Structure 1
Amino acid sequence: MPFLARPRATPPEADVCVIVEGCYPFVPGGVSTWVDWLIKGHPHLTFAIVAIVADTAPREPRYQLPANVVDFRCLPLHRPFETASCRDAARPEGMEEALADAFILLVTGGGLAAFQRLVRLVADPRNAFTIQTLMVSPLSWRLTCRMYERLMPHASFLHFFWAWRALFGGLFAVLVSDLPRARVYHTISTGYAGLLAARAVIETGSPAFITEHGIYTNERRVEILMAEWICDTVDKGMDLDDGRVDLRDIWMQVFEAQALICYQACTRIVTLYEDNQRLQRALGAPGERLAVIPNGIDVARFEGLPQAAAEAPPTIALIGRVVPIKDVKSYIEAAAILRTRFPTLQALVLGPTDEDPAYFAECEACVAECGLADTVVFTGAVNIVAYLSRIHVVVLTSLSEAQPLVILEAGAAGIPCVATDVGSCREILEGRSDESPGLGAGGLVTALVDPQQTAGAVGRLLGDAAFRHACGETLRTRVRRYYASQDALDAYRRTYADLLQLSGDHAARRAS
């Protein structure tokens, strides 16, 4: 499939437009697998897909679009520009000040009302805005200077300039891109995907809703705190009352502003587990719109798989992409600790290695440094089912997760898990607070970035076959009872039906 900015022919109106950022159909696993499952699970509905990507580089799809997808387009957040033709145009008096005010209001928590002002300004034909005029023109330069003076004049202009372009270049792309026609808009995160859904609500009146797997804003916060490429330019010392903001503050303010806009625009706000709702409320989500629909898997796909033989070499597996947020290095270090007790240990890493080549190289160096060349195996992308019968324990060392499908799939196969205390991992392994009767432990939960604790938990399971079997069977029972695919599909079928009815009522009012 070629990189597609927009379809050549005008596509029909879809029942649902799914908006994704940085995943489907180009990145395998995780959320992408869920999106594919969702669309295929509703063959009676038609879908449009907007895949938000970083740039215009060619991308190879990893999924074939289902037959009920009638519109697919990519929305690149950043693209190269020809600057020679980007000159000032005549615009209404006071427009620049109004645009700057709208941006300030948006960044400082103005929510959907501030975003609506911005949408109207950009859509107004009298202002003659294009992505070029917003990014590479005398107007864009003056706007950048205004924002710098009003947001952080005490800091480095150079650093602010590039941060502004990175953050707001994506916003501008969302504001000027063509919207697919749909009766309902379904975003899979806040961020830029959430902004596009909010814009659809403003411009079309159609309802939108969100399904959050992980809390996008929280994941970005982790990345920003860890980012070495964001320069700290303000020295506040020990002064807790210093109100000056730095670049990290600006980045976080923008992502929090995006979340608030999305939540206020969405009719329903769905997440995978209850603890996420605490974070959603803290970011401004109206409590009466919140709902939980857990991930579901095809349990039957994993039935009948043989268990790993007790006499086989002890085998553990991290199932996921080799990227920093999965903290593969902690898994490797835990394997090094475990091998002193289990000399024949096999530690598999089942998942793509090409998403972050630099991090993969660091992981390979860690394997070499720990002398684990015969222990740790990077398989690349594989059919997970083909490996499950070899695995005694599945291990997850992620820094952030939502409701990991890999734990559900391992559980369906009767394999116990060791997981960090992120997302719904504890809920899956230990049971929800309202689980009745309580089933018990399906594995063990550890602290983040703690190879020693991870190794201890895995060692307990590997060293006690009876305990390992009991945990695996408990997890199997819990997954069958609470995380079946059909239950989740039924919940989304009802949600879509409700919102399509709402969309129809709105269209009828407009026509009358």
Structure 2
Amino acid sequence: MKTNMRIGIIAEGTYPYITGGVSSWIQTLISNLPEFEFEIYHLRPDSKKREVRYKIPKNVVRVHEVNIFGDFDPDISEKADLSMLDTITDVIVKNRSLEELVSILENFIEKNAGKSFSKIFSSKEFWNLVVKTYRNFFSHRGFTEYYWVIRNLILPIVNSLNFVPEKCDIFHVPSTGYASLVGVVGKFLYNVPLIITEHGIYHREREREIIISKWLPEDYKTMWINLFRAISMIAYNTCDSLTTLFKKNQLFQLELGADPKKMVIIPNGVDVDKFDMPKEKHEGFIIGFVGRVTRIKDVKTAIRSIRVVKDVLRNKKIKFLIIGPTDEEQDYYEECKKLSKNLFLEDVVEFLGRQNVREYYPKLDLLLLSSVSEGQPLVILEAMAAGVPIVATDVGACKEMVYDEEGQCGIIVPPKNHIMMAKAILKLYEDAELRKVFSQNAKKIVRKKYRLDLMIKRYRDLYLHLVRGQTALKT
């Protein structure tokens, strides 16, 4: 039944060009809510032409895009009032609390929602901000360097605030970060509800990247980290509902002052019947990795663990199938192939690229997930529905899913530890009865807690309740 309700989904660097987690979630949500119309707002990290990786559902009205790191001067007649930048500068210079700064930034965004920020870099207020903060905190660095650090820090924020969405009944952002600023503008401009859904915790992911980065001098890292914390706090404060996929995430949200009354857990879901297929008989022992071949998936650690497994099993027949796209980080894919060759695993490791994963789950004896960061991986839910035991790293919701209170369905190991990973694989290889128990538990748990129809119902109910002016559902 059509509702005449329009949802604005605001994505950052994901849908519809990058496959995997958040993108698959967006596609699934839209495809299973045909009664709603959707507008997609996509914040791109550059202007490179990319191939659309999904068949856009018919209920998507249009897709809007902007390169938030490029030049963007929208046709907006009313200019933003930049006078509050002096107050913001004063709060920063006086080393006041992040909470006080966030409160002023929220006021600044609300006051200027829908107005143009394009002249900010030529304004005296911005110049004052740069000069005063430089004198107070960074005078030991070169001024020219500092100016460009600040400009690059603020540019994607300015572009995000300039990326004014059209009127929707709800704005839904599957992260905090720059995308959430577009959602905040939409909420303030049209006085409509805003939903933030966190798969991973954005500011913590950015913090890890900044800490290990080589491109940013150490002196500036704290400032950059605090910026992302501030953006998350703005998103938490202004949203009407803050959903996440699992309990552990809520602890990090509470650390930044999220309101428990807004917080809802809506786990990912899969079509369990679609993956519940009879096992295929095969020779040997087949281990599968399903996902993008990227650094965040840490495929190299998985490959190293397979080398240890092969050494222990000697002449036993094993296969490691790497199933998923290889083109997102081509250099990393080449490094993985080279590592496999150098470890003499070319007869064991197969890079299969994009495949219909449903054809492979019935062949697998074990799913291996080696990621260094995750939200709530769909591949684990798919494997559970298929009755495939799991070895996964202790990231995101992996432990919560695999060590469920109603039954264990795999083994969790520390990230980046190929020895522990290999030991877990060998334990499952050697114990067929344990694999059977894990398989049975997995099927039972996924049907009870992680069904697609449950996930879709929860978001449908949440949309309808928010638009009717009711409080966010507790599910």
Task: Establish whether TM, by shorter chain, passes 0.5.
Answer: yes
- Map residues 471-490 of structure 1 onto 2, 5 A cutoff: 471-490=438-457
- Map residues 465-504 of structure 1 onto 2, 5 A cutoff: 465-502=432-469
Q: Which amino acid aligns with 1:259?
A: S
Are 1:64 and 2:55 an aligned pair? Answer: yes
Name stretches of at least 5 consecutive residues in structure 1 with no aligned partner.
1-12, 83-89, 233-245, 433-437, 504-512
Match of 1:326 among 282, 288, 297: 297
Does the residue aligned with 2:468 lie in a helix, a strand or coil? helix
Q: Which amino acid aligns with 2:105?
A: F
Does the residue aligned with 2:422 lie in a helix, a strand or coil? helix
Does the residue aligned with 1:190 lie in a helix, a strand or coil? coil
Equivalent residue, structure 2, for 1:452: 419
What CA deviation, in whole Å up to 9, does each residue of 1:415-457 have, x standing for no partner? Answer: 000011111111111114xxxxx3x220001011100000000
- In 2: Cα distance, 1:107 partner to 1:53 partner: 32
Equivalent residue, structure 2, for 1:177: 163
Equivalent residue, structure 1, for 2:365: 392
Aligned residues: 460
Does the residue aligned with 1:352 lie in a helix, a strand or coil? coil
1:419–1:445 contact (8 Å) kept in structure 2: yes
- Map residues 226-265 of structure 1 onto 2, 5 A cutoff: 226-232=212-218, 246-265=219-238
TM-score (normalizing by structure 2): 0.89
Deviation, 1:166, is: 3.2
Deviation, 1:94, is: 5.5
1:111–1:261 contact (8 Å) kept in structure 2: no
- Map residues 56-135 of structure 1 onto 2, 5 A cutoff: 56-80=47-71, 97-98=86-87, 100-101=89-90, 108-110=98-100, 113-119=103-109, 130-131=117-118, 133-135=119-121
- In 2: Cα distance, 1:396 partner to 1:162 partner: 40
1:111–1:260 contact (8 Å) kept in structure 2: no
Deviation, 1:191, is: 0.3
Cα distance change, pair 372–260 in 1 and its aligned pair in 2 (3 A): same
- In 1: Cα distance, 2:234 partner to 2:82 partner: 28
Equivalent residue, structure 2, for 1:206: 192
- In 2: Cα distance, 1:280 partner to 1:120 partner: 22
Cα distance change, pair 422–386 in 1 and its aligned pair in 2 (3 A): same
Match of 2:208 among 203, 213, 222: 222
Q: Which amino acid aligns with 1:272?
A: L
Deviation, 1:209, is: 1.1
1:187–1:193 contact (8 Å) kept in structure 2: yes
Deviation, 1:152, is: 3.4
Deviation, 1:135, is: 4.5
- In 2: Cα distance, 1:413 partner to 1:381 partner: 19
Deviation, 1:284, is: 1.7
Name stretches of at least 5 consecutive residues in structure 2 with no aligned partner.
74-78, 471-475
Cα distance change, pair 217–321 in 1 and its aligned pair in 2 (3 A): same
Q: Which amino acid aligns with 2:104?
A: A
Are 1:341 and 2:309 an aligned pair? Answer: no
What CA deviation, in whole Å up to 9, does each residue of 1:300-323 have, x standing for no partner? Answer: 1012232453xx122112211122
- In 2: Cα distance, 1:409 partner to 1:468 partner: 16
Are 1:288 and 2:261 an aligned pair? Answer: yes
- In 2: Cα distance, 1:101 partner to 1:381 partner: 53
Does the residue aligned with 2:469 lie in a helix, a strand or coil? helix
- In 1: Cα distance, 2:442 partner to 2:353 partner: 26
Cα distance change, pair 137–79 in 1 and its aligned pair in 2 (3 A): farther
Match of 1:369 among 334, 337, 342: 342
Deviation, 1:502, is: 2.0
171-180 or 372-381, which deviates more: 372-381
Cα distance change, pair 150–71 in 1 and its aligned pair in 2 (3 A): farther
Deviation, 1:373, is: 2.1
Deviation, 1:108, is: 3.3
Q: Which amino acid aligns with 1:419?
A: A
Match of 1:53 among 44, 68, 82: 44
Cα distance change, pair 268–123 in 1 and its aligned pair in 2 (3 A): closer
2:287–2:367 contact (8 Å) kept in structure 1: yes
Q: Which amino acid aligns with 1:473?
A: Q
Cα distance change, pair 256–456 in 1 and its aligned pair in 2 (3 A): same
93-102 or 422-431, which deviates more: 93-102
Equivalent residue, structure 2, for 1:21: 12
2:86–2:125 contact (8 Å) kept in structure 1: no
Q: Which amino acid aligns with 1:359?
A: Y
TM-score (normalizing by structure 1): 0.83
Does the residue aligned with 1:340 lie in a helix, a strand or coil? helix
% same residue: 32
2:84–2:108 contact (8 Å) kept in structure 1: no
Deviation, 1:198, is: 1.5
The CA RMSD measured in Å over matched residues stands at: 2.8
